[in-house]
Amino acid sequence: MRLRTLPAVCAALLALGGCSSVRLNKAPVEAGQTTATGAAGADAASSQGTGAVASIQAEPLAAGANGGANGGAGSGAGPAADVARSVYFGYDSYGVDAKYHPVLVANAQYLSAHPSAHAQLQGNTDARGSREYNLALGQKRADAVMKGLEVLGASPSQLEAISFGKEKPRSEGSTQADYAENRRVDIVYK
């Protein structure tokens, strides 16, 4: 049984690794919004934003604490409380980093073992960029997580990918750490 899952895990790693090379065009910053780098431009913000992601750990959401996006996780739906339910992304990116593979594996295993479970994948972005651009980027992030979960054994009928764009931030500040906290997909069990 274990040998049959090895090819699926390898295929998932290859599929997720391939996603990281795809880049979107740079999002224009809306009037009145500035990054922590001032007028240095998107490339400087990109390099700082990437470093900020490395400091975020894939921490599980505590039962009953919704963090603004937890939804049904506090109701007892979904895997154990020690299973992380968020995947974070680099600035202007929708490629799932390999360090979040354990998050995908744990959630896919839960979904595989519970065929009646349903997870909503909520894509989020930081505040930079237009509303339309961020909705599209949030959707691409949610779709990337959904594809990863499917490759690891979750049924497509159990998953729903949606985007909130920049409308549901977890952190209201405008530092690079705040932006990094908001660039995520939350896995919310219903």
- Tens-digit pLDDT profile for residues 165-177: 999 999 999 999 9
| 87 in Cβ contact with 59 (< 8 Å) | no
Mean pLDDT of 146-159: 97
Q: Return the residue matching tokens 């919704």.
A: 66
Whether the per-residue pLDDT at 150 is higher than 70: the answer is yes
* CATH number for the domain whose boundaries are 2-189: 3.30.1330.60
Alpha-carbon Rg for the chain, nearest whole angstrom, is 16
Round the average pLDDT of the chain to a whole number and report it: 74
Confidence of residue 24 (pLDDT cuts 50, 70, 90): very low
pLDDT tens for residues 36-95? 333 333 333 333 343 333 333 444 433 333 333 333 334 458 899 999 999 999 999 999
| 134 in Cβ contact with 27 (< 8 Å) | yes
Going by the DSSP 8-state scheme, the letter that residue 86 receives in this structure is E
Look at residue 78 in the predicted model and tell me its pLDDT. Answer: 86
104 residue type, one letter: L
Name the phi and psi angles at 111, rounded to 5.
Answer: -65, -40
Q: Which residue from 95, 62, 59, 86 is spatially nearest to 76, judged by alpha carbons?
A: 62
Look at residue 4 in the predicted model and tell me its pLDDT. Answer: 58
Mean pLDDT of 13-19: 47
Enter the pTM of the model: 0.64
Whether the per-residue pLDDT at 11 is higher than 80: the answer is no
Q: Whole-angstrom Cα distance, residue 82 to residue 59? A: 8
Reduced to 3 states (helix: H, G, I; strand: E, B; else coil), residue 13 is helix
Look at residue 95 in the predicted model and tell me its pLDDT. Answer: 97
Structure token pair of residue 28: 């224009």
Percent of the chain with pLDDT over 90: 57
Whether the per-residue pLDDT at 17 is higher than 90: the answer is no
Cβ neighbour number for residue 182 with a 10 Å cutoff: 25
18, 77, 91 from 23: Cα distances, Å: 11, 34, 10
Structure token pair of residue 44: 């400087």
Look at residue 77 in the predicted model and tell me its pLDDT. Answer: 80
